[in-house]
Structures are given as C-alpha cells and as structure tokens.
Amino acid sequence: MAVNERRERIAATQKRGKVECRVALQRTVSAMGGIALNADRVRQLGDAAASVAAAIPGTPPLTTSDILRWPGVMVEASVSPETLAEQADTLLSQALSELTAARAREGALERRAQSLSSSTFSHTRCSSER
C-alpha cells in the first residue's frame, strides 16, 4: 500500500482532529537472528590468503578476527520490502482501531459530563425555585 493510500485510509476512519503518522525502522538484536557468514566470501578470502602465502613465504596466516572483520564476510539478515509493507499495514490497522476506540470513549465521557452538568443545573434551578 502506497503512502497516499495510507493517508486516505487514515482520513476515512478519523473525521475530526489532526492525525500524524510516522514510521521508523530500527533493527533490534532479536530481529537480526544469529550470526550469518557469507561462506563463498570466506572461501575466496582463504584462497587469496593461500595465494599470498605461496607467493611470499613466511606471511602470517589470517586470524579468525581478520576474517570476520573483512568486508562482505558477515551477512546481515534482511526483510523484503513487501514484508515490511505488510507489517506496516497491520500496525496501521491496529493503531487506527485503537485511536477510534479511544476517541469513542472520549466522546462518551464528554456526553456524560454534559449530561451530568445539565441535570445538576436543572436540579439546582428546580430546588431554588421552591
């Protein structure tokens, strides 16, 4: 769903007041899952290190830390744009539902307060007229 479609959805459900919506993505440690290695890149790095060692005897071998720090060895988990859009739409539906419910409760409280206020005024008026 595109940004404009989301705006229309918000406008269709919320008839009063201003609604601002911002989406921010932040990768969490638990969402990233385990450590993933690019095995092809590790093999390429090992082959390159072996070639260097063959060409230059006495070259120190790569350490595990060297390999893990090498660009492209560590693979970050990714989420498809479609999955992110689906999750954003689900969260938008939930937020709109909760906002609609909160506004309904707010309206009910206002009506109750007005009812109590007018009945108190009527009761005070009737009592003072006696």
pLDDT tens column, 32-57: 566 788 999 999 999 999 999 999 99
Closest alpha carbon to 9 in 83, 78, 88: 88
Interval 99-116: pLDDT, tens: 888 888 887 877 778 777
Residue 4 has pLDDT above 90, yes or no: no
Residue 72 has pLDDT above 70, yes or no: yes
pLDDT of residue 22: 80
* pLDDT level of residue 58 (50, 70, 90 thresholds): very high
Dist. CA 37–CA 21, nearest whole Å: 37
- Spell out the domain ranges in the chain: 34-78, 90-130
